[in-house]
Structures are given as structure tokens and as C-alpha cells.
Structure 1
Amino acid sequence: MTERVLLIGCGDLGQRVARRFLARGDEVHALRRNPPADGPQGIRWLRGDISRPGGLPALPRGVTRLVHLPAPGARDPAAYRAVFIDGLANVLEALDTSRLERVVFVSSSAVYGEHDGHWVTEDTPPSPLGANGRLLLEAEAALAARRLPSTALRLAGLYGPGRLQLIDRLRSGAAGAPVHPEHWANRMHIDDAAAAVVHLALLPEVTPVYIGCDDTPLPLHTLYAELARLAGAPSPRVAPAPANVGSKKLSNAWLRAAGFTLRWPDSRLGYAALLAEAGQDDPAQA
């Protein structure tokens, strides 16, 4: 069956999601304030501003899969509320939901907060440290209250092609991490994140929430040290833990139990492949 998909927000992650639906032969619509001129062929672009009730164009009728993954214009509470809470409400009010079989809301592991390096699952009570996590949690609850068939995918930090700023920071000596106590970090390759979005959008049955991450949480200093070695950068300096993130080990057991398979189960392997593709191979292998 051909799906009619609507993506709200379609940046890097959204376009990777779109390509996967298009490869299946699905009809893909994507709404952005400013649609790109060079996006994937086959996307039916819509121009609009979801933060304003009157800012939406006519949305396609008969949408079967809705994916909400906008990018806030800034990292401040007003911008997050505008797209994740008000924006989602405006879309759902304007959308014909008569054939809607799934909403995937792309959220963040920031809803979990500080857990002192312990394991976190979907059963762990959320305790966000920052406004972004609190607003995403509020948006998840607002969506669930609508009683639509939906799920939230709480993503760990994404990396992938074109996302090598961390390598640049390591080379310049700007990136650092604590050693005692360790700060645990979690990552997911952006292509695995896109695949997870599509997987959950198409599953016959879902749970209300999934964590999206790879198989290998790492102490941040361990990850940075390995990336510095791969990039031929100096050893990372000792520095405070990032603010409002929290140390935790995320479990992807529910996502795996739903039949999802990662291509990149360990971010060290993923980064090594990215560096090799960029012509920055491990000097030890030269």
C-alpha cells in the first residue's frame, strides 16, 4: 500500500526520512518555512509557518503517516514552544486525520535529565534539566491527549555526514570532558535515526515512547579520546560536563524489540567511517 506521508520540518534528518519513504514508492509531502531548491527529487514541498494558525497552506488530504520534526529557530523556550507545542497543535487542527494511521513525534533524550551514569529506559520517569526537555515533554503529553495513533522517538545526540564540528573542536583543543566522575554520553548516527523514524511510522503497533540511540553508551572522555586518535588531534583536555544534559546510559532495547536493526551500533565505528569518507583516515592505518 502506498502511504501518503507529511513531514513537518524537513531539514537534514527529515530529508533522510523522506528518501526512505520515496524509495518505497510512497507519496511524500514536506512543509518548511523555506523549502530548499536542492532537496530530494520527489518531495512535494509546502511553504508555511506552523507557529501561526494562519501560517499554514492547504495540507494534503488523506495523510496516513505524519512525522513532526521541525527545527526551532533558536535554542530558547519561545522557539521550542512555537514549533513543538503550538506548531503541532496548529498542524493537527488543520490536518484531515480521517486516514491517519500514525504520528511520529521526534523528541529528545533531554527529557530524562541527570541519572548519575545509570541505565535509562522508557520506564524511567522523565526529569528534564533544561527548558528544551521540559517543553518537549509537554508536547509529547499534548499529542498523547489527542488520542491519535502516535509515538514519540526520544533521540540521543545525532552525528553523521556534514556533522563533524566535534572533530574540528578536538583539533583546536576546544573540546574537553570530565574524567572523575565520568560523564556518560549517548549517540545515534543520523541515518539510523531516519531509519528508526520510518520503522516506527510503519509498524502496525507501537508503544507510546521509544528511545533512539546506538548500542554503545560511552564515557564522554573515552569517546573524545578515540575520536582525537582517529582524527590525529591532540588528546582532549579535562573539562566540566556539558550543562543541562545529565549523565546516563540510554537503552535501545524497546526499539530493537520492535524489530529495528542499527547499521552503526557504536559511534566510534560510525565516526571512523565518516572520517575515512572525508579523506581524514586514521593516521595509524596509513
Structure 2
Amino acid sequence: MKSPCLLIFGHGYTASALVDHLGTEDWEIFGTTRNVDTADLLKENNITPLMWSDDTSIKSIIKRSNYILHSIAPTEVEDPVYEKFAEDIIARSINLSWFGYLSTTSVYGNHDGQWVDEKTPVNPSGNRGLLRVNAENTWARINNLPLHIFRLAGIYGEGRSPLDKIRSGKAQLISKPGQFFSRIHVEDIAQVLKASIEMPNRGSIYNVCDDMPAAPDEVLAYAAKLLNYPEPPRIDFEAAELSPMAKSFYSDNKRVNNHLIKNEFSLALKFPNFKAGLDALVGR
């Protein structure tokens, strides 16, 4: 029996975790990249690299893909994948079993610390969220596309966690009372994506986050405690010197509900809160 073909647009951190969960023995996996070193690494892991500039090769793989994961962020102009390959994906859509688009919870905008779920209307407060809404809508307009949208909270995991920020010596504990952020361990994103691939439900939208929204300073303080590092000094948000991008993160204050992924996929998160996630990472 022929192995199913998965094409990944933007083979990065999250896609790598998904491949680890799927395994390459039973799948034929292709991943796009702009980086030659990344291409070599993909080869070492039994993934066929496709250079982003090689339209011909990518189009040939689209023609035989059964599953497509799209994890490339939109630009100010357009969704890069749609811009280059919309015609090819539309032509293949009726033969696709699953098309996953990785979006973000920034599409909901600010809710002053209140809970949001998948039925909450999108209302982005910044350009980053607006671009994601536009990208979601662009793909949703393709009639036969088996679209699944995953609105990811802040991603952390090995090599990309509050522990690494503390170790760098550059962490700041920004204090903004009543501020909530939701987050998700990359391993749990991977198990959600795998579950969706195995149980597709076209047209679905999923919030992908853990059970415990928390303030960033609370998370960093816990990371410092785990590492036996001194807690970085606390700085009031109004007095903190932050980049426009960093400030934009603090403009959205919401708690994201994850009941749908757990109920639809009968799924238990491996790391249901940041403490469980950081506890597992501290020894790595």
C-alpha cells in the first residue's frame, strides 16, 4: 500500500514536532524551506526538502499530496502560499484529505481578560491579527478545500521556553495586573494536528492552548525558581522599554478556551499548564 503524502509549507519548529509524532516510516513527507542548512537537516530526518524558490518541484508535489500543512505567516501583501500556489492547490483540493492552516489566537483581539472560544467573533486589535484573519478567510473561500484552522496560543518547548529566557540573562518580569496570556507546548500542538489528520472534520476551527492562562511575569518567575536563578527585577508595564512588537502582545488580554480540542479528539494534553511543561523541560 502506498504511503500517504504530506506536504508541509514552512517546515519549522511546529512541523518538526508533528513529523516526530507521525513518524516517517509510514509517510512520504516533503517540507519547504528557504535555508540550505535546514534542507540538509530535513534529509537527515528522512524528509524530502523543497526549496521555496523551486516552484516547479513544489507544484509537482502538490499534484500528489494527500495532506497539506500550511505554517507560513502572511505578509503585508498576501498569503505567500496562496500567492504562489493557489491555482495548484485549488486543482488538487477535491483529492486532498486534509489541509491544515496554522493561525494564531491574536485573531480574537482584546477581551480584557475574559474567556474566548471558537464561537467568539474575530476582532483583531493589531495588524498581525488582521493579516491572520485575512489569510483564514482567503483559504475558507475555496469551496472544495478540506480546511482545518488551528489558532495557536504562544508556543514554547525545548530550546524555546521561558527557561531559555532566564538562562540568557535578558528576561524582564513585566508587571501588568490582570494580564493573561495563553500558551501551548509544541508537543501538544503536534498531538492535536495528528489527531485532526486521523479524524478530519473539514471546515473546523480549533483553539490550541493549554488549560491555564497566566501572566508572563508569573511564568518567568516560576522558570527562575526551577533553575535556582535569582528572580529578574519586576518592571511596571508603563515604565518598561519595549519594542512596538512586544507592546502589541500586551495590548491583547484574554483567556482562551480549549474544550473543543479535548472533546472532539478525546485528547488529554501532555502538558496541561505551564508548570507541567517547564517541569519537563528543566532537565533538558
The structure richer in helix per residue is 2
* CA pair 45-130 structure 1, distance change in 2 beyond 3 A: same
1:202-221 matched pairs, under 5 angstroms: 202-221=198-217
Is 2:260 the partner of 1:264?
A: no
- Residue aligning to 2:85: 91
Q: Cα distance, 1:115 vs. partner?
A: 0.8
Q: Cα distance, 1:114 vs. partner?
A: 0.9
Could you tell me which runs of 5 or more consecutive residues in structure 2 were left unpaired when the two chains were aligned: 239-245
Is 2:149 the partner of 1:152?
A: yes
Residue from 152, 164, 168 that aligns with 2:165 = 168
Q: Cα distance, 1:163 vs. partner?
A: 0.9
Q: Distance in 2 between matches of 1:30 and 1:171?
A: 31
How many residues were matched structurally?
Answer: 266
* CA pair 49-108 structure 1, distance change in 2 beyond 3 A: farther
Q: Distance in 1 between matches of 2:132 and 2:57?
A: 22
SS of aligned partner of 2:219: helix
SS of aligned partner of 1:143: helix
Could you tell me which runs of 5 or more consecutive residues in structure 1 were left unpaired when the two chains were aligned: 278-286
Residue from 94, 108, 112 that aligns with 1:112 = 108
CA offset digits 1:157-185 (Å, max 9, x no partner): 11111114664347736412225x32111
* CA pair 198-91 structure 1, distance change in 2 beyond 3 A: farther
One-letter amino acid of the structure 1 residue matched with residue 204 of structure 2? P
- Residue aligning to 1:276: 283
- Residue aligning to 1:129: 125
Q: Cα distance, 1:19 vs. partner?
A: 2.7
1:1-286 matched pairs, under 5 angstroms: 2-23=3-24, 25-34=26-35, 35-39=38-42, 41-49=45-53, 56=58, 58-70=60-72, 77-78=75-76, 81-82=77-78, 85-95=79-89, 96-147=92-143, 148-164=145-161, 167-169=164-166, 172=169, 174-179=171-176, 181-236=177-232, 237-240=234-237, 242-245=246-249, 246-259=252-265, 260-277=267-284
Q: What's the TM-score once normalised by structure 2's chain length?
A: 0.83
Coordinate RMSD, CA, aligned: 2.5
SS of aligned partner of 1:197: helix
Q: Distance in 2 between matches of 1:130 and 1:166?
A: 28
Q: What's the TM-score once normalised by structure 1's chain length?
A: 0.83
Q: Distance in 2 between matches of 1:46 and 1:161?
A: 25
SS of aligned partner of 1:93: helix
* CA pair 22-174 structure 1, distance change in 2 beyond 3 A: closer
Same amino acid, percent of matched pairs: 26
